[in-house]
Structure 1
Amino acid sequence: MRPLLRPTQHFTLKLLTRTSSRTTFVFPMVKRKSDTLGDNSSIQRPSQIRKMATQPATTTIELTPRESQLKDLLSDAAKFIDGTGKVQEPIVLRWAGGWVRDKLLGVGSHDIDTAINVMTGETFAINLCQLCEQPDTIKKHAITESDIGNIHKIARNPEKSKHLETTTIKLFGYDVDFVNLRKETYSEDSRNPQMEFGTAEEDALRRDATVNALFYNLNTGKVEDFTTGLIDMKSKLIRTPLEPFQTFMDDPLRVLRLVRFASRLEFTIDSAVEKVMGDHQVLDALRLKISRERVGVEVEKMLKGNHPRRSLEYIDRLGLYHTIFTDPSSADLPTPDISNWNLAYELLDYLRQSKTPGSIYDVLVRSEEAAYYAWVLAALCPWESVEPLPTARPAKGKPPPPFATRAAREGIKANNKLCDLTTAAHNNKKEITVIVRAIEESAPYTKERDTLGMAIRRWDSKAGHWRVQVLYALLTEATKALATGSVSKDEFLRPWQSCLDHLQELGAMDAPSLKRIIDGTQLAKALGVKPGKWMAEALEVCVAWQLRNPDVTDPAGAIEEVRNRRAELKIPEK
């Protein structure tokens, strides 16, 4: 057995950033029971480190000129407050969490969390703004009118596991949050913590992941690691500073946050942490204790990130689906079969990765918004396998929304636009699939530009994004077709690609944006009648005529078409 290093000795690790520059991590030796660092289980556990560490591990990072400008201003603000005698010990400011992590990875960030040792964030921010009004400060730090924004306060909501009260100011283009260092204490009859001033180490230990528990000390200019954050950065590992079950029960939203971080950073979640993330007590707490708005925010960040497939894979593998994409207020909501769900999100990622001009993804996903909607709909695909309840449709009135829409609206608090799109995608799925098959079989009506063009206009009329609706139909069909193994992925995709090629050749793709050759006022005048309920349908007849006659600019033919169908359209006589 090799001897342990003396406490005064150091060892170094080097991390390659995305810019190929090197950052050297210098760790003071921490006493440990084991003298080896092998798999995850042999790395020193955070609870042990808390008891045995004599000082934090450190490293340094290089600031940009703008970051240095912000650092100098905040440091002067701390000195300014120290000089007023309002605090009993000197203020120490630390930039915390995500900014430090991303900086070590060579990734820029405009969000900076600033932790304060002896003062609330609101009090510090107020004093900072007072300092920034002084002419000497404005001159010293080259402050312009747009450099200092207004103070915004975000209240805590412990019942929804929003334990922190933060104050935010826009400074030099950065969104800077101010909050005091904290520790959490719990009573026996409540899981809502009492937030108290704490040390930097105590604050680090209450965070969601070790890689998010790093500090940059503005006084020393060094990164401080009170857990195993720097080691885990090197190992690309997501772990919790404290025991995982306690971490997640304190704030169950951390389950989704760790999924998001692991996906975004392309890190691996520690196996012991993964096991707890799927614990039924943790999932029950996530479903019932956390506001669905906060759940929706995390899911949106995942699916708008660079690795949405990876996020859905984690949700699938860890058994989180039925906790996220559901209506937690409805006990009678059925449970969708997700055994083949992976086929949907894997296929979407395959289409994205193999995008070429004119390919399925290139044609159907034409904006960042459409890409996000596509991933949400891919997440909702399993609901298409659930049969509507026999009593779901009322005798009169509007039918209830599809299960997928309920999961979007209540599970992740999707906005009305996305919910409407989900409903439209569900309602139009069957017709879309029928047309794809008809084109594959060369059915005569598929040669009619107006027939296909008007179908596309119908799909687009209620919620827009008809192309994403086609993609939803494709993905839901894929979960059935590919599950049997009777067709390959390329064989399944071939008729869908042929359908899009055919619509392109037919000139029907832009049917929803077709400008009418005649408006309602002109049509009523030409017919010699007053506008009425008949108008909407008559104008659609005009659009269909346009689609059949794309090169004609005179509306006379469209008017005549309407006149010949006067009785059918219930247009009154003159």
Structure 2
Amino acid sequence: MSRLTEQAARILDEVAAFASARGQTVYLVGGFIRDRLLRRACADIDITMEADALEFARSFASAKGYGPAVFYGRFGTAMLNIGGVKVEFATCRAESYPEESRKPEVRPSTIHEDLARRDFTINAIAENLLTGETLDPFSGRADIKARIIRTPLDPDTTFRDDPLRILRGIRFAGKFRFTVSAETLAGMARQAERLRIVSGERIAEEVLRMLEASQPSRCFLLLDAVGALELVLPEVSALKERGTEHPCKELFDHTLKTLDNACRKTRSVPVRLAALLHDIGKPKTLRVEQGKVSFHRHEFVGERMASRVCQRLYLGAEDTRLVTRLIRLHLRPHLLAKENPTDRGLRRFIREVGRDMKPLLTLARADITSANPGRIRRAQERIDHLETRITEINRRDRLSTFKLAVDGHAVMEILGIPPSRAVGWTLSHLEQRVLDGKLPNRKRDLKRYLAHNRSRIVRMSRSMVG
């Protein structure tokens, strides 16, 4: 049992004892029960009760010395963070939704009404913490056993009230490898257009969490099946279009295979997102000339498109930089691996890519898809050989964090020249000799070279910069 699991068990015992002393009934509900039945760790506890949950949370926190709770009065909820375990207290409630909003009007309810308003049957299970009785009016335990996503009420009502549940259900299906029931899937499709009323932030959160699944292609296939993909990621949906009858690689299928490949190699969401978006520039750059298909400069078009996608997904500046850069560079490892470049060429590539080399090679490996196992094996071997050479060069030169060992002040002092473009030319000249392996990048060696070749370097620098 993990530390957080032990902590959660202790907190539940404390909540039960506190409620019992006050003569109140409290229920454990939702994801904690679901994950426990799935034998998955969970650090979030949801407690609900028919009495005033805000007052209960305030009194519980005070009695146990946990510090003040954070209150969300409109929904009748309060949050405590106890040693890394998030505990939410909520008053049982029923909800009704205006037609053009997913913000509900809330009223107090019974525990049975509270369970009925929940998104899916697997989350509509409650346990009386005082008696241990389980309330499962919608057969959530059976659905967990059968690995099915299903709504407690009519799917159209569930998704019309809160269309974000469409994305949540698809995310759960991907995360747990569950099947969405036919009736629920049909309801998602009928209500998909209502995703337009959901805020961009909430959609972005769900999409990024889908990328955390071990096989996120399941999520994007479901998004496509219910008509939601073109609403949330039209750039990916466009990959399904066939712009030619030429038997070229199916872009959508290839993209999802690349995504799943990447997920087997990294947990990084930005790298996984780059895998999902790496070919989105191809539909705009498709050309068929003399029976040959090309996507000239699609990586640059894709880079610009991906920047806008990252903005919609509210990615931070560093994650956006990584995603777009990987897309711009994603063809380079394959080209280099086929060309078998010189060490000099590889040094330039190493310096250009810098700290992004590992995720770039991860994407390059993920991008190798084919129905021909031999072709996959040969492509992987070429990338492996390229990485081996890069590792060896890095070991010798440590170029990933390359910095010339001397600066402009040393150049001016040794050559006896004032600040000018000649200083910059000389630094570039030194850098080139280091990159070519003709000079070690050590201060004493570079200074010695400048001193020994002072007249020639001064003459060359003046002639080069005019």
- TM-score normalised by the shorter chain: which range applies? 0.7 to 0.9
- For 2:424 and 2:357, the matched residues in 1 are separated by 21
* Aligned residue among 544, 551, 555 for 2:446: 555
* Aligned residue among 127, 133, 138 for 1:216: 127
The aligned residue for residue 94 of structure 1 is 27
The aligned residue for residue 407 of structure 1 is 309
The aligned residue for residue 69 of structure 1 is 10
The aligned residue for residue 289 of structure 1 is 197
Unaligned runs of 5+ in 1: 1-17, 20-62, 83-89, 134-147, 157-163, 328-332, 354-360, 390-398, 440-445
The aligned residue for residue 385 of structure 1 is 282
The aligned residue for residue 314 of structure 1 is 222
* Aligned residue among 418, 430, 452 for 2:319: 418
- For 1:562 and 1:201, the matched residues in 2 are separated by 86
- Structural mapping, 1:25-64, within 5 Å: none
Q: Cα distance, 1:197 vs. partner?
A: 1.0
Q: Is the 8 A contact 1:326 1:407 kept in 2?
A: no
The aligned residue for residue 438 of structure 1 is 339
Q: Is the 8 A contact 2:77 2:88 kept in 1?
A: yes
Q: Cα distance, 1:130 vs. partner?
A: 2.8
Q: Cα distance, 1:414 vs. partner?
A: 1.8
1:260 partnered with 2:171: yes
Q: Is the 8 A contact 2:422 2:462 kept in 1?
A: no
Q: Is the 8 A contact 1:345 1:375 kept in 2?
A: no
Change in CA separation of 1:119 and 1:435 when aligned onto 2, cut-off 3 Å: same
Q: Secondary structure at the match of 1:170?
A: strand
Letter in 1 for 2:360: Q
1:516 partnered with 2:410: no
**Larger % of helix: which?**
2
Q: Cα distance, 1:562 vs. partner?
A: 7.4
The aligned residue for residue 294 of structure 2 is none
Q: Cα distance, 1:176 vs. partner?
A: 0.6
The aligned residue for residue 88 of structure 2 is 177
1:325 partnered with 2:325: no
TM-score normalised over the length of structure 1: 0.65
Q: Is the 8 A contact 1:77 1:127 kept in 2?
A: no
Change in CA separation of 1:555 and 1:302 when aligned onto 2, cut-off 3 Å: same
Q: Cα distance, 1:499 vs. partner?
A: 2.8
- For 1:384 and 1:400, the matched residues in 2 are separated by 4
Change in CA separation of 1:538 and 1:552 when aligned onto 2, cut-off 3 Å: closer
Letter in 1 for 2:278: C
Letter in 2 for 1:295: I
Letter in 1 for 2:252: W
Q: Secondary structure at the match of 2:90?
A: strand
Q: Cα distance, 1:467 vs. partner?
A: 3.4
Q: Is the 8 A contact 1:326 1:406 kept in 2?
A: no
Q: Cα distance, 1:239 vs. partner?
A: 0.8
Q: Secondary structure at the match of 1:130?
A: helix
- For 1:539 and 1:227, the matched residues in 2 are separated by 73
Deviations 1:161-201 (A, max 9, x none): xxx46421122542111111111124577664311111111
User: What's the Cα RMSD here?
Assistant: 3.9
Q: Secondary structure at the match of 1:219?
A: coil
Change in CA separation of 1:526 and 1:373 when aligned onto 2, cut-off 3 Å: farther
* Aligned residue among 182, 200, 211 for 1:303: 211
Change in CA separation of 1:289 and 1:539 when aligned onto 2, cut-off 3 Å: farther
- For 2:126 and 2:79, the matched residues in 1 are separated by 18
* Aligned residue among 344, 358, 364 for 1:467: 358
Q: Cα distance, 1:79 vs. partner?
A: 5.2
What is the percentage of aligned positions where both structures have the same residue? 24
Change in CA separation of 1:526 and 1:270 when aligned onto 2, cut-off 3 Å: farther
The aligned residue for residue 427 of structure 1 is 328
Q: Cα distance, 1:535 vs. partner?
A: 7.1
Q: Is the 8 A contact 1:337 1:385 kept in 2?
A: no
- For 2:96 and 2:50, the matched residues in 1 are separated by 18
- For 2:213 and 2:275, the matched residues in 1 are separated by 15
Q: Secondary structure at the match of 1:414?
A: coil
The aligned residue for residue 350 of structure 2 is 456
- For 1:314 and 1:188, the matched residues in 2 are separated by 25
* Aligned residue among 489, 494, 498 for 2:376: 489
The aligned residue for residue 128 of structure 1 is 60
TM-score normalised over the length of structure 2: 0.79
- For 1:321 and 1:293, the matched residues in 2 are separated by 16
Q: Secondary structure at the match of 1:387?
A: helix
Q: Is the 8 A contact 1:517 1:543 kept in 2?
A: no
The aligned residue for residue 293 of structure 2 is none
The aligned residue for residue 391 of structure 2 is 504
Q: Is the 8 A contact 1:341 1:382 kept in 2?
A: no
Unaligned runs of 5+ in 2: 242-249, 287-300
Aligned residues: 435
Q: Secondary structure at the match of 1:118?
A: coil
